[in-house]
Amino acid sequence: MAWFNKDELKKFITKKNSVLVVWDVQEALVNSIFNKDTFLAKLKELISSARQNDVPIVYTKITPLPERFQPAYMRRNFNPGDIVKDVYPQGGDVVLNKNTASIFVGTNFELMLRNAGIQTIVFTGIATDIGVETSARHAQTLGFLPVIAKEAVSSADKEAHERSLANMSRLMLVLDNKEIIERWSSSPQ
């Protein structure tokens, strides 16, 4: 059971105060998830709605540190590849190169949001149980409203994905695309 009123929080999802985060939707990660086709279709749906409603879109991209400066447990030749072509950034979208599982560590994301007056962060991407959950919890700690687009997040581990969604639903909004799109479409300019 959640400690918050879901309907009250939904009122804060507007096109004017939202940003859509597309977390690490890179070739190697997309090819590893359990629901690739459904995930990509739902992600495209949200990206399209964000563009129609002038909601800014921020893509994150895993950018490994030089090998010597990587943590020892990450010193392997992992190449996540580029952002998948099906949802590739367009003009006006922001791409944040990052090295951690939090969108706020080592980036200027928080500053960007505060400068733009954005309070609501809609999270999509891979992996639900790693970077999405870490960033959503960090966002909440910083006073932002995290919203998880439950149809547009995924993981290589279906059970971990489902546990993560269940955990986050106790702390923050976990909504389907329809609810998010309705809020953006019905909110004033």
Average pLDDT over residues 158-185: 97
On the question of pLDDT at 188 being above 80, the answer is no
Instruction: Tell me if 9 is assigned to some domain.
Output: no
Instruction: Tell me if 4 is assigned to some domain.
Output: no
Supply the mean pLDDT for the chain. Answer: 93
Gap between the Cα atoms of 113 and 142, Å rounded: 11
Domain count for the chain, please give it.
1
State residue 157's pLDDT score.
97
Q: Count Cβ atoms within 10 A of the Cβ of residue 160 and give its class: 0-12 exposed, 13-18 middle, 19 or more buried.
A: middle
Residues 6+ apart with CB under 8 A from 19: 55, 56, 57, 58, 113, 116, 118, 120, 121, 122
Gap between the Cα atoms of 121 and 17, Å rounded: 9
| Length of the chain in terms of residues written | 189
State residue 75's pLDDT score.
60
Instruction: Tell me if 86 is assigned to some domain.
Output: yes
Instruction: Tell me if 148 is assigned to some domain.
Output: yes
State residue 3's pLDDT score.
66
Instruction: Tell me if 5 is assigned to some domain.
Output: no
Residues 6+ apart with CB under 8 A from 90: 51
State residue 72's pLDDT score.
73
On the question of pLDDT at 69 being above 90, the answer is no
Gap between the Cα atoms of 88 and 51, Å rounded: 13
CATH number for the domain spanning 63: value is 3.40.50.850
Question: Mind listing the pLDDT tens digit for each residue in 14-35?
Answer: 999 999 999 999 999 999 999 9
Instruction: Tell me if 20 is assigned to some domain.
Output: no
Question: Mind listing the pLDDT tens digit for each residue in 112-150?
Answer: 999 999 999 999 999 999 999 999 999 999 999 999 999
